[in-house]
Amino acid sequence: MTRPILPCLLSLLLALPFVRAAERKPNIIVVFCDDLGYADIGPFGSKTHATPVLDQMANEGIRLTDFYSTCPVCTPSRSSLMTGCYPRRVNMHVDEKNLCVLFPAARKGLNPEEITIAEVLKEQDYATMCIGKWHLGDHPDFMPTNHGFDHYFGIPYSNDMNRKQVPLPLVRDLTVIEDSVQKNTTITAQYTTEAVKFIKANSKNPFFLYLPHTAVHLPLVPGKKFKGASKDGAYGDWVQEIDWSMGELFKAIKAEGIDEDTLVLFTSDNGSAREKQGSNLPLRGRKGRTDEGGMRVPCVVRWPGKIPAASSSGALTSTMDLLPTLAAISGGKTPADRIIDGKNIWPILNGKSKSHPRDAFFYYQMDQLQAVRSGDWKLFVAMDQKKRNWGKPEGKKTLTLFNLAKDIHEDRNVAAENPEIVKRLLAHAESAREDLGDVNRPGKGQRKAGWVEKASPRLIKK
C-alpha cells in the first residue's frame, strides 16, 4: 500500500533539522596556559590548588597523562601547537640572536607560508579568534590576523617583557589599546570576557577559540577577588582564577545550547618554572629542561557524547597532534604539501585506540636534541653543557636510559642492562638529527622561519 505523499514530505521536513544538527561541525576551544605545571590542577594531583571546574571537566572527559609540549619554553612550544610541527621543523626553536624565545621588536616570526590550525579551520568556514599570549612575532606579518585568525585580543609576548622601547602592550587585532599592562590584575578577566563575547556572537556557526593565557607566567598578577584564595600564594591564586575562567566558558556554551557541539581542550606550554610554588610532581625537573617536568604537561579534553567520560590515556601524545586531529573532526585536511609531525589522535580521544600514535618523540632544548622517547623508554643522548647549562637536565649524563612506566621520576639509569633498547633509540635520534638537525647541524627537513628587514613592534599611536 502506497503511503500518502503529504505525510511523507512532512516527516522528511521534520527530520531535516536533526540531520543538520548531526552534521554540524564541532566548535573548538583550546586553552593554553603559560608555565602551568603537571600537578598544578586537581585532575593531575594538586592538593594545594582548588580547581573544581577542571575536576568536573576531567570527570566528563579524558586525561592525557603522557601529553607533551615540544619544547620546555614559550615560543617554540606555541609554534608547534599552531603548525603541527617540531619547532626545529619550522625554525622557531631560537630567535634571531640564538636566544630561546622571541622578544619585542623581533625581525623573526612564524612564517606566513606555514599553515596554522586557524587556517585549516577557516577552510571549513569556522569563525576564528585568538585571545591572550601569542609570542610568535609582533610584526604584522607574524601576528594572529595574518595566520588565519579573524580577530586577536591580547599581549603579543610574555608578561615579563616590559621594555622602555616597547612597553608591554594590550592589542586588539593590530592596534595597541593600552600599554604597560605588566601589572594589570584584570588581564585574565579581560580575556575571559572577550572569550564569552566571541562564543555568544558565533554560537550559531562553528567557531575556533584559541585562548593562550598569560597566567601563570611571572610576574604573578591574579585578579583582586582571587587574592589569598589559595594555599599557594599568588601562584595558586592565579591557578584558581584560571579555573574560574574555565567555568565562565562552560557557562557560556551551555547557555547557548552548544555544549554537546563543543570540544574543549585544556593544557600548558611547558612545565612549571617555579621551585617553591607550582608542582611538576611526580615528574623531575622544571621549565627550560628536558626532564619530564619541563615538557610533559597536563591535558584534559571534553566533548560530551563523543569522548568517554572519566577516561584517561597514557598514549604518547603532543601539542603537535592538535592540527591533524582538529582537521579530521572538522572535515578539513592536514596539509599534504609539507611534512607535518603531528598525528591524528582522535581514535585515542574517543576511546577506540590505546596505541602510541608515534614510534618516537624528540626532546629538543633550543637547537640541541637532548633526548628521545619510544614507548616507555627515554634515552638522554647529548648535552652541550657549555652552551646549554640552563637547559641541562637534572643529574643526567649522555646515554642515560629510563623506563618511564616504572621510573617516572627518572632516577635509575638502566642503559647498561638494555643495550638493544639503547641502540634502537640511538637510531631514532640519528634519524631526527638528519631530518630536524642538531647543534651546528642543519636538518634536511627544516623550513625557513619568517623574516623582515625592519622590525614593526606593536606600539601605541600618539
Residues tagged active-site: 74, 135
Could you please report the per-residue DSSP string of 136-152?
S-SSTTTSGGGTT-SEE
Pseudo-torsion of CA 189, 148, 346, 154, nearest 10°?
-20
Closest CA to 132 of 156, 149, 148, 106: 156
Interhelix angle for 52-59 vs 233-255, to 10°?
50
Instruction: Please tell me whether residue 378 adopts helix, strand or coil conformation.
Output: strand
DSSP 225: G
End-to-end CA distance of the chain: 80
User: Can you read off the three cell numbers belonging to residue 407?
Assistant: 621510573
Is there a contact between 67 and 345 (Cβ–Cβ < 8 Å)? no
127 burial via Cβ count (<10 Å: 0-12, 13-18, 19+): buried
Among the listed residues 270, 219, 246, the one whose alpha carbon sits nearest the alpha carbon of residue 50? 246
The position carrying cell 599553515 is 115
Alpha-carbon distance of 292 to 283, in angstroms, equals 6
Which single residue is written with the C-alpha cell 636566544? 99
Contacts of 41 (CB under 8 A, 6+ apart): 49, 51, 54, 55, 239, 243, 298, 300
Closest CA to 43 of 243, 192, 231: 243
Q: Which residue has the cell 550559531?
A: 204
What span, in angstroms and rounded, lies between the C-alpha atoms of 37 and 32? 12
The grid cell for 14 is 521534520
Which has the closest alpha carbon to 318: 297, 338, 302?
297
User: 145 near 119, Cβ under 8 Å?
Assistant: no
